[in-house]
Amino acid sequence: MRELSVNEIAILEEQGCWAEDWTDILVEDDFATSAVQDVQFYGHVEIGSLNGSLEVAEGFRRRCCIKNAMLRNVSVGDECLIENVRGYISGYRIGNRCYIADCGILSAQEGATFGVGETISVLNEGGDGNVVLYPGLTSQTAWLMVNYPEVRALAQKRAAEFCQANTALIAAGTRIVGTKEITNTWIGEATEIKGATRLADCTIESTDEAGTFIGSDVIMEKSIVAPGASITDGAKVTDSFVGESVHVGKGFSSEASVFFANSYMDNGEACAAFCGPFSTSHHKSTLLIGGAFSFYNAGSGTNQSNHAYKMGPIHWGTLARGSKTASGSHILWPATIGVFSMVMGKVQTHPKARRLPFSYVIAEGLKTYVVPGINIKTVGTWRDIGKWPKRDLRPRSVRRDLVNCAFPNPYVIQHVLEGKELLKHLQTKFGEDAPVYEYKGCTIRHDALVKGLQYYDIIIRLFLYEYFATGDAAENGEPQNGTWLDLCGMLAPKVEIDRIMQDVRSGSITTICELENILAEVHAAYKSHARTYAQFVMQHEGGNMFVDQDYWLKEAENAHAQWLQMVRTDAEHEYQLGDVEESQLRDFIAKIK
């Protein structure tokens, strides 16, 4: 870098430029005065090479330049095009090949934290903060922070390290067009910001492989955005984390919420929501509040209530992996809905249905009827388990959230086993001929309970079918019982997570990076852990892998065939509604294998 010559200063002034102090302006050796016109300089400004051209639209390249702008304490990288800045650019380091045009104010203050280190309260809206926001936050570390407060100290340490190591940046390859205000926001490489209204105190991560897009009329404050995300069409995001390849758009409003890999949010709103991988809400009048969701689909008009109008908005609940809510559903928290269940109507009894997976949860007046296991037979469940792996939009080279789409899996099966035992217990308690059975806010009719036991037997054998089909039955290993956890996408034996947390408490794990590496090791060992759990399941069901393998293989194959036939039958029932072509039905049934 060098100072401008007297002749260069004279030419620049003739071209409408002005500087508070020309000696504070440094340029590259190949600086050409023709590339800088109508620019006002305040403080220290550095300008890289403006030779060459930059593609501003597909097939349209323009000469690099700085025109009609005000720069204060800014460094500009090589091959940039900056023009028509109606306000000013202050305090930013601008990387190479950036395009900034038709903007208002881009300003960063010394000591800005870019939203990093903000602590928000998810689930319990009125509670103390339980998730620390920082670049690189994963669904697993967020889940651990909610459930193990000691992890928050590691996250705060990581946040502080980022703030100490980074100053205001508009990284290489970024495009900012038609944006009114950007304040104290750190912007990663290859980000595109087009028509946003206001970005304040945010961090936007982006890479060449997974570019991030911020679109028209977006207002975002005190939030972190991960690579590959898109926030568009008037979305309003405050105190939130928008994860890898997550979409938020069409006026969606988020406050104090987190969204992880491949979630999709349009039109509605979220508050204090923990949205794990593949959480989806498309509709207006849909509110996700005070809930934990993952692999979830919200029907139109879905709502939850976290406020009893007594002690404040302190209640919360969980819709476990694979759950759905039908159009118009309303759940009064607290409540717990089991895996792969469907909720319908206004649920007011605060059901604790974790041990009743694959259920229909149906509100009728002041009662909540549960139909256990029935959702295993639906086309929707079959489609869901096949679509999630195909819809992972993240680059394979870098996937931070650990997402396991295996089905069936030990986490699901442990709830099925518990459900089977619970239904038998209810039969013993109320009698096998009782017309209804009551359990923690749930009412189960007699026929539903009997069929539920049959469905749960099928699901257990489906798990064993996967065990045999993958060749895992040939592997040695002692059967291992024990609780499994779903760490918001990652499946792991609880004993492994307990071991990790003991290392956190003892000081053996001192950084988020170390924690994430160990979690990745456990994630990679899933098949081994699942195999030993499958051997336990076989024993639990009265079998022996070595003595009865042929019998259990036949049982598993029969269960798999029975499941597929139930799905085909469900598809045929939908065909009978009359608006599906027979050819479409045939094509669909041919895919059910």
pLDDT, tens digit, 9 for 90 and up, residues 162-174: 999 999 999 999 9
Q: Which residue has the higher pLDDT, 480 or 349?
A: 349
CB within 8 A of 3, min separation 6: which ones?
A: 22, 23, 25, 26, 27
pLDDT of residue 470: 73
**Which among 390, 504, 370, 551 is positioned nearest to 443, based on CA atoms?**
370
pLDDT of residue 388: 95
Q: How confident is the model at residue 472 (pLDDT cuts 50, 70, 90)?
A: low
pLDDT of residue 468: 82
Convert the pLDDT of each residue in 382-428 to its tens digit. Answer: 999 999 999 999 999 889 999 999 999 999 999 999 999 999 999 99
pLDDT of residue 155: 98
Whether pLDDT at 542 is above 80? no
**Which among 95, 99, 96 is positioned nearest to 82, based on CA atoms?**
99
The answer to whether the predicted template modeling score (pTM) of the entire model surpasses 0.85 is yes
pLDDT of residue 545: 55
Q: How confident is the model at residue 105 (pLDDT cuts 50, 70, 90)?
A: very high
Q: How confident is the model at residue 543 (pLDDT cuts 50, 70, 90)?
A: low
**Which among 569, 477, 583, 593 is positioned nearest to 525, based on CA atoms?**
477
* CB neighbours of residue 149 within 10 Å: 11
pLDDT of residue 540: 83
Convert the pLDDT of each residue in 261-303 to its tens digit. Answer: 999 999 999 999 999 999 999 999 999 999 999 999 999 999 9
Please state the rounded mean pLDDT for residues 110-131: 95
pLDDT of residue 473: 57
Residue 256 and residue 241: Cα distance in Å, rounded?
8
Please state the rounded mean pLDDT for residues 143-159: 97
- Mapped onto helix, strand or coil, the DSSP state of residue 459 is helix
Asked if 509 and 518 count as a contact pair (C-beta separation under 8 A), the reply is yes
Whether pLDDT at 366 is above 90? yes
Residue 69 and residue 35: Cα distance in Å, rounded?
12
Pick the range with the lowest mean pLDDT from 116-130, 135-149, 465-479, 562-576: 465-479
Q: Please report, to the nearest 10 degrees, the dihedral formed by the alpha carbons of residues 19, 25, 30, 32 taken in order.
A: -10
User: Six-digit token pair at 484?
Assistant: 């499994």
- Mapped onto helix, strand or coil, the DSSP state of residue 82 is strand
Please state the rounded mean pLDDT for residues 566-590: 91
Asked if 311 and 319 count as a contact pair (C-beta separation under 8 A), the reply is no
Domain borders along the chain are 396-437+457-568
Asked if 386 and 403 count as a contact pair (C-beta separation under 8 A), the reply is no
Please state the rounded mean pLDDT for residues 204-228: 98
Sign, CA dihedral 527-528-529-531, equals: positive
User: Six-digit token pair at 172?
Assistant: 């290489």
Please state the rounded mean pLDDT for residues 235-241: 98
pLDDT of residue 476: 56
Q: Of all residues in the chain, what percent carry a pLDDT higher than 90?
A: 88
Q: Of all residues in the chain, what percent carry a pLDDT higher than 70?
A: 97
CA 264 to chain centre: 8
Q: Which residue has the tokens 């489906």?
A: 462
Q: Calculate the average pLDDT of the chain.
A: 95
pLDDT of residue 330: 97
Convert the pLDDT of each residue in 243-258 to its tens digit. Answer: 999 999 999 999 999 9
Pick the range with the lowest mean pLDDT from 3-17, 110-124, 484-498, 524-538: 524-538
